[in-house]
Structure 1
Amino acid sequence: MMQLFWRFLTIGFLSIGGGYAIIPLIQEQIVDELHWLSEKVFSDIITISQMTPGPLAVNTSTFVGMQLFGIPGAIVATIGCISGGVVISLALAAFFQKKRESKPIQGLLAGLKAASVGLIMSAGLTILFLTLFNNSDLARLNWANLDWIALLLMGIMLFIMRKSKINPILLMIVSGIVGGIIYK
């Protein structure tokens, strides 16, 4: 369990951008390197984390810890994940208050924003590929494995969301119910 804490502490310290930007870091550590979870279980954890209240990174770390070691694992992973961010946020807030007019600091922030967008796009594509192909490795994508039902459901919900003012949470609930009926 100590390794779980250190992994999430490292992830917390290295995750700039939070939310979707942290998903590739968690996947690299927990799925790809340690093989503690399969891609499918991790994808399910991401889905549940998105639907529960609270920050995505915290929810994901909590559910990963819960999946691995129960409630103690959830607590350890969550504390590890948020500790790095708290320390970094406090240090950066003090630093940027002193240096907020500096051109190099403004350039640094612009670079960090660009990196965060790239990480968010990576997380989105990972979730998309896991949903549609049950695989996030581009080298192993096989169009024959495309889940046409998931693609159709995604398209319908995207169309409804764009053309109406229906609450996205309601659409997620409806999608979950339809998916539960179709994939049971």
Structure 2
Amino acid sequence: MRRLAILMIPVMTAVSGCGGPVETRIHTQAGPVLPALQQYSFPEIPEQNSQVYQAARQMVGSVLEDRGFAQNKDAPLLVHIALANRPASMAITTGEESSLNVIADKKERKPLQSCEDVEHRLTINMFTVPAGEALYSGTAAEYHCKGTVEQSLPYLVDAALSDLGNPDTITDRTITRKGIE
């Protein structure tokens, strides 16, 4: 009986633990060199209306300012932010059946998983004003069972802006960190 109890400890730990590795999937695409005058603005009317979105906007602004950008109402760069929190069992696609493009594939539930996964996704796009030329796009996404989008947000912002300033690059990579799954 004692031997069985000792053997059950690793099994119970594996089943109950949600503090495992978190994978952040990152896709960035940088266009030509950014203008010398590194001033940006956000749209006057926010793309989304929630506290989490406002926090994302503030974090993005802070990271941009740390990298030498300044916010200005009449800036030559416009920064758009999209934030999503969706069930991971749903895929995101575009196009028709004959030419379907998968943006985010659905995630299968892990064996013995205690809750449904959700995907936290942040996309940041930077355009010139008024031409609308795309200068930068960064997307970062994570799957979580118990973690909240508020907890993921700082990591998503850093990951989505990770290649800003590297002209003419396209990257797809995954980084792993310890956190709440």
TM-score category, normalised to shorter length? under 0.3
Give the greater-gyration-radius structure (CA): 2
Which structure shows the bigger proportion of residues in strand conformation? Answer: 2
Higher relative contact order (CA 8 A, sep 6+): 2
Q: Give me the TM-score of the superposition, normalised by structure 2.
A: 0.23
Q: Determine which structure has the larger helix proportion and give its number.
A: 1
TM-score normalised to the size of structure 1? Answer: 0.23
